Amino acid sequence: MAAVFYVNHNRWLQHWLCKKLGSAFEAADLTQDVFTKLLHKQQLNAIDLTTIIEPRAYLTTIATHLLIDSRRKQKLEQAYLAMLFDAQPDFAASPQQIQEAIDILNQIIVMLEGLPTKAARAFILYRLDGLTHAEIADILGVSASMVKQYIARAMMHCYQIAYAN
């Protein structure tokens, strides 16, 4: 069933993404990510492809979420690299150091997946930017005690992921 689903909708999804992204290469990569995610959901028995009434709407929803995640990851990487260069203007990072920093950021992003946006953002602002609970509360528009709860939730989430095995 998954193969039929792929054959019937792959070309359409890639074309739709190409119009959105303006890049055939990015569209092809994201299309594969969408179908990989779909297959993973099917293997976990989280979805039955035969029950999907509007397959294109379903695929665009997955693609949109993956695109948002990808853009969020890119922004985080850019912000981190900018912070590195701002903090040490004479510092010239080697390509290997840059790749290591990106790899670490990707690991952080994976650890924070599944958390609500505010909890993940509070954790990043606290741990990476070194902001206080009050400063984070102002940014997020919540109370300092809520920030404390967000950070605790994020830490517990990361701990559970790191030590689940």
- For residue 149, the model assigns a pLDDT of 94
Domains (range + CATH), the chain: 1-92 (no CATH), 114-165 (1.10.10)
pLDDT at 73 over 90: no
Confidence of residue 88 (pLDDT cuts 50, 70, 90): low
C-alpha of 154 from chain center: 15
pLDDT at 165 over 60: no
- For residue 163, the model assigns a pLDDT of 76
Does residue 164 or residue 106 have the better pLDDT?
106
- For residue 98, the model assigns a pLDDT of 82
Report the distance separating Cα 65 and Cα 78, nearest Å.
20
CA distances from 77 to 31, 46, 99 (A): 22, 31, 10
Report the distance separating Cα 143 and Cα 31, nearest Å.
40
CA angle 8–29–11, rounded 5-degree value: 20
Report the distance separating Cα 125 and Cα 122, nearest Å.
5
Q: What is the mean pLDDT of residues 114-132?
A: 88
The pLDDT tens digits of the residues spanning 4-63 come to 888 889 999 999 999 988 889 999 999 999 988 888 888 777 777 778 889 899 999 999
What is the pTM for the complete model shown? 0.53
Mention every residue, 6+ apart, whose C-beta is less than 8 A from residue 93: 84, 85, 101
Mention every residue, 6+ apart, whose C-beta is less than 8 A from residue 84: 91, 93, 101
